[in-house]
Structure 1
Amino acid sequence: MSEPVSALNHAGFDGLAKVTECGLHGMITLRGDLAARAVKAAATGASGVKMPGPNEVQSKGDNALCWMSPDELLVICDYKDVRQVLDKMHKSLGAAHALAVDMSDARTMFCVTGSSARDVMAKLTPADLSPATFGPGQIRRSRLAQIPAAFWLEDDQSFRIICFRSVAQYAFDLLCTAAGAGSDVGYFSAAPIRPT
């Protein structure tokens, strides 16, 4: 029997920012009333982190809860733990009207890191990435050029991006092109201009 592998097997690129395919991650979609006690308990109990607010990510180590929409969370865990986490969630949900589904093999995750990471991402998405409106712990569902994607900031220089596995190569090529040498626009990474 073959071993599971990530879409691009940890492919990497080092340019204006470092682009890395992050390998296998457990990704569970949880749909339901996010205010319901059973749904909250399933999400927080499975992840070990507190419930995120709208457009937020709560994380601790490799575990995270990502707010995806008013009735959807993405639970991120270790890939090898997905079955256990799902079982725990289903028990916690009981008879609640909710859905928890393993999406791990349908998606892939990338990291974009470095002082120009915000500039690299801003070339590709219509989302406002200015520090005043998008900071660490916030998530957006938007587009990267022609594909849907979700992304968040872990810190001021580290993005995580999730997209469908079927477009992983396109996403990687896109990110590498945006991070290519000689393409720096310096909009967010440039030192602030001070009046004289």
Structure 2
Amino acid sequence: MSEPISALNHASYDGIAKIEECGLQGMITLRGNQSDKVLAKAIKDATGQKVPGQHEALVSGDTGVCWMSPDELLVLVPYAEVEAKLAAMNNALGGTHALAVNVSDARAVFRVSGANAREVMGKVAPVDFSGDAFQPGQIRRSRLAQVAGAFWMDDADSFRVVCFRSAADYVFKLLKVAAQPGSEVGVY
């Protein structure tokens, strides 16, 4: 069996912000009733986190859970643990109306970091990235120019961006162009 590799094999670029492909990330899409106590326990067991509120990302390193919609969560676990965590989650959810699916290899993850990270993100997504409107611990699903994506802030100067693996090269190049030296707009 071949070894798994990330979409862009850790490609990176340094401009007005640093753009990095993060590598392999375990991801489970979990659909179900977010107020269900069984679902909440499965999330807690897999990540140590509670069920997030609307637009909330409870992430520490490569583990956490993100709100994606009223009936969908994105569960993040280390890539090497995703199959075991998924099996445990499906076992725990056995009697509950829910669906948990490993989407790790269908997604790519990027990090945009540095003092101009908000400015880079503001060029590619129709979201208010001001400090008052978007802060660490919040997530949005939106567009990254022509493709769908989701992004959250890990801290005041860094974002994590998730897109479909098939769009990884496009998103990397999009972020790279938005981070070109001399392209500062000064909005954020």
Output the TM-score relative to the length of structure 2.
0.98
Identity %: 55
Query: What's the CA shift for 1:60?
Result: 2.8
Q: Is contact 2:19-2:110 (8 Å) kept?
A: yes
Q: Structure 1 stretches (4+) deviating beyond 2 angstroms? A: none
> Which residue of the partner structure matches residue 37 of structure 1?
37
> Which residue of the partner structure matches residue 72 of structure 1?
72
Cα deviation per residue 1:88-133 (whole Å; 9 max; x = unaligned)? 1012112100000000000000000000000000011111111111
Is 1:176 matched up with 2:176? yes
Query: What's the CA shift for 1:169?
Result: 0.2
Q: Is contact 1:49-1:60 (8 Å) kept?
A: no
Structure 2: tracts of 5 or more residues without a match: none
Cα deviation per residue 1:140-187 (whole Å; 9 max; x = unaligned)? 000010000000011110000000000000000000000001101121
Take 2:71 and 2:128, find their aligned partners in 1: how far apart are those partners? 23
Q: Is contact 1:38-1:94 (8 Å) kept?
A: no
> Which residue of the partner structure matches residue 86 of structure 1?
86
Cα deviation per residue 1:31-58 (whole Å; 9 max; x = unaligned)? 0000011111111211112221110011
Q: Is contact 2:62-2:78 (8 Å) kept?
A: yes
> Which residue of the partner structure matches residue 152 of structure 1?
152
> Which residue of the partner structure matches residue 192 of structure 1?
none
Matches within 5 A, 1:1-196: 1-188=1-188
Query: What's the CA shift for 1:61?
Result: 3.2
- RMSD value over aligned CA atoms? 0.8
Take 2:38 and 2:157, find their aligned partners in 1: how far apart are those partners? 35
Question: Higher Cα Rg: structure 1 or 2?
Answer: 1
Structure 1: tracts of 5 or more residues without a match: 189-196
Output the TM-score relative to the length of structure 1.
0.94
Aligned residue type for 1:70: P
Count of matched residue pairs: 188
Take 1:36 and 1:112, find their aligned partners in 2: how far apart are those partners? 34
